[in-house]
Chain A
Amino acid sequence: MNYGFVIDGRKCIGCHACTVACKSENQVPVGVNRTWVKYVEKGKFPATRRYFTVLRCNHCEEPPCVDICPVEALRKREDGIVDFDGRRCIGCKACAQACPYGALYIDPESHTSAKCNYCAHRKEVGLKPACVVTCPQQAIVSGDLDDPQSEISKLVATEQTSVRRPEKGTSPNMFYIKGDGAALDPLQTQDGRPYLWSEQSRGVGHFAGKSHAESPRQHRAAHLQDDPSMPRKVYDIPSKGVVWGWEVPAYVWSKGISSGLFMLFFMLTVVLSLQLPDEMQWSTWGISLAFLGLTGGFLIKDLDRPDRFQSVMLRPQFRSWLVRGGYIIGGYGAFLALWAVGKLLGLPAVEQVALWGGMFFAFMTSIYTAFLFGSARGRDFWQSPLMPFHMLLTSLVAGGAAMMLLMVLFGAPDILVGLLRWGLAAGVALNAVIMVSELFGRHPSKQAEAAAHQISAGALKSQFWVGAFLLGCLLPFFIFVWSSSLPLLSLGSILSLGGIYYAEKLWVRAPQLVSVS
Chain B
Amino acid sequence: MNSTHTPTVIEKAAESLHLIENLHKDDDSRAATGCEGKQLSCPPPEHWDSWVEYDSRSWPERKGREYMLVPTSCFNCEAGCGLLAYIDKKDMRIRKFTGNPYHPASRGRNCAKGPATINQLDDTDRILYPLKRVGPRGSGKWERVSWESVLDDISSRMRKALQEGRNNEISYHVGRPGHEGFMDWVLKAWGVDGHNSHTNICSSGARFGYAIWEGFDRPSPDHSNARFILLVSAHLEAGHYFNPHAQRIMEGRMQGAKLAVLDPRLSNTASMSDYWMTSYPGTEPAVLLAMAKVIIDEGLYNRTYLENWVNWQQYLEAEYPDRPKTFETFIEALQEEYREFTPEYAEKESGVPAATIRDVARQIGEAGERFSTHVWRSASSGNLGGWAVSRTLHFLNVLTGSVGTPGGTAPSAWNKFKPTFHTHPEPQKFWNPLHLPDEYPLAHYEMSFLLPHMLKEGRGKLDVYFTRVFNPVWTYPDGFSWIEALEDESKIGLHIALTPTWSETAYFADYVLPMGHSPERHDLISYETHAGKWIAFRQPVMRVAHERLGTPVEFTWQANMGEVWEEDEFWLELSWRIDPDGSLGVKKHFESPYRAGEKLTINEYYRYIFEHTPNLPEAAAKEGLTPLAYMKRYGAFEVETDVYAVHETAVDEERLRSSTVEKGTIYSNGSPVGAEVAGQSCIGFPTPSRKQEIYSQTMVDWKWPEYRLPAYIKSHIHQDKMDRSKNEFVLVPTFRLPVLIHSRSGNAKWLAEIAHRNPIWINADDAAAMGIENGELVRVNTDIGYHVNRAWVTESIRPGVVCCSHHIGRWRRDQDQKGNRWATNLVSIDREGSGKWKLRVKEGIEPYKSDDPDSGRIFWSDGGVHQNITFPVHPDPISGMHCWHQKVRIEKAHPDDRYGDVFVDTDRSFQIYKEWLEMTRPAPGPGGLRRPLWLNRPVRPAEDTFYVGKGK
Taking Cβ atoms with an 8 Å cutoff, the residues of A that contact B are: 1, 10-11, 13-17, 19-21, 23-27, 29-31, 41, 43-46, 48-52, 72, 75, 77-79, 83, 85-88, 108-110, 117, 119-128, 130, 132-138, 142-143, 193-194, 196-204, 208-209, 212, 219-220, 222-226, 228, 234, 238, 308, 310-311, 313-316, 318
Contact = CB atoms under 8 A, between A and B. Distances in A.
B575 to A, nearest CB: 38
B43 interface: yes
B331 interface: no
Nearest to A9: B272
B632 to A, nearest CB: 23
Interface string B598-625: 0000000000000000000000000000
A374 to B, nearest CB: 24
Contact of A198 (B19, B98, B99, B757): B757
Given A19-B754, A45-B763, A120 B35 contact: no
Nearest to A49: B271
Contacts of A133: 41-42, 98-99, 108-109
Nearest to B852: A30
A200 B11 CA distance: 42
B202 interface: no
Interface string B10-34: 1100100001110100000001010
A72 B5 CA distance: 9
B680 interface: no
Interface in B111-128: 111-116, 118
A86 B56 CA distance: 11
A24 B116 contact: yes
Contacts of A1: 1
Name, among A52, A125, A219, A316, the residue most crowded by chain B CB atoms within 10 Å (CB to CB). Answer: A125
B246 A13 contact: yes
Interface string B745-780: 000011101111111010111001000011110000
Contact of B20 (A132, A194, A198, A314): A314
B161 interface: no
Nearest to B106: A136
Nearest to A127: B40
Contacts of A20: 112-113, 115-116, 739, 750-751, 754
A123 B37 CA distance: 8
Contacts of B247: 136-137
**5 nearest CB pairs, A to B:** A126-B35, A314-B14, A126-B38, A121-B54, A50-B271
9 contacts: A17-B111, A24-B97, A27-B57, A31-B857, A75-B5, A87-B61, A124-B31, A194-B759, A202-B861
B793 A226 contact: yes
A223 B774 contact: yes
Nearest to B269: A13
B648 interface: no
B756 A197 contact: yes
A17 B11 CA distance: 41
A412 B38 CA distance: 77
Interface in B851-869: 853-854, 856-862
Interface of B: 1-3, 5, 7-8, 10-11, 14, 19-21, 23, 31, 33, 35-43, 52-57, 59-62, 96-99, 106, 108-116, 118, 236-237, 243, 246-247, 250, 254, 266, 268-269, 271-272, 276, 278, 737-739, 749-751, 753-759, 761, 763-765, 768, 773-776, 790, 792-799, 805, 808, 847, 853-854, 856-862
Contacts of A43: 795
B759 A108 contact: no
A220 B52 CA distance: 48
Contacts, number: 294
B234 to A, nearest CB: 10
A244 B186 CA distance: 64
Contact of B795 (A19, A48, A311): A48
Given A125-B36, A134-B98, A204-B857, 6 more contacts: A30-B854, A79-B1, A121-B56, A133-B42, A198-B753, A199-B757
B96 A193 contact: no
A316 B56 contact: no
Contacts of A15: 111-112, 236-237, 246, 268, 738-739
B19 A45 contact: no
Contacts of A26: 56-57
Contacts of B38: 126
A136 B243 contact: yes
Contact of B755 (A126, A143, A197, A308): A197
B118 A310 contact: no
Contacts of B751: 20
A125 B775 contact: no
Given A20-B112, A25-B56, A314-B10, A41 B794 contact: yes
A202 to B, nearest CB: 4
A30 B822 CA distance: 11
B35 A203 contact: no
A23 B737 CA distance: 19
B355 to A, nearest CB: 13
A59 B118 CA distance: 29
A24 B266 contact: no
Contact of A228 (B96, B246, B795, B798): B795
A310 B19 CA distance: 9
Contact of B36 (A75, A126, A193, A238): A126
A142 B31 contact: no
A4 B39 CA distance: 13
Contacts of B57: 26-27, 86, 110
B859 A203 contact: yes
Nearest to A42: B795
A197 B266 contact: no
A136 B792 contact: no
A87 B266 CA distance: 46
Contact of B775 (A19, A25, A203, A223): A223
Contact of B110 (A21, A23, A25, A126): A21
Nearest to A109: B853
Contacts of A16: 112, 738-739, 754
Contacts of B10: 313-316
Nearest to B777: A220
Contacts of B61: 87
Contacts of A143: 39
Contacts of A203: 859
Given A20-B751, A209-B847, A194 B774 contact: yes
Contacts of B98: 21, 130, 133-134
B859 A21 contact: no
A48 B266 contact: yes
A128 B39 contact: yes
A30 B859 contact: yes
A19 B112 contact: yes
B19 A13 contact: no
B790 A194 contact: yes
Nearest to A209: B856
B287 to A, nearest CB: 14
Contacts of A198: 753-757, 860
Name, among B7, B115, B276, the residue most crowded by chain A CB atoms within 10 Å (CB to CB). Answer: B115
A165 B31 CA distance: 39
A104 B42 CA distance: 28
A83 to B, nearest CB: 7
Contacts of A134: 98-99, 109-110, 114-115
A404 B950 CA distance: 106
Contacts of B794: 41, 196, 234
Contacts of A13: 236-237, 246, 250, 268-269, 272, 738
Nearest to A201: B861
Given A20-B116, A48-B796, A120 B59 contact: yes
Contacts of B99: 133-134
Contacts of B266: 41, 48-50
A133 B109 CA distance: 6
A14 B270 CA distance: 12
Contacts of A196: 759, 761, 792, 794
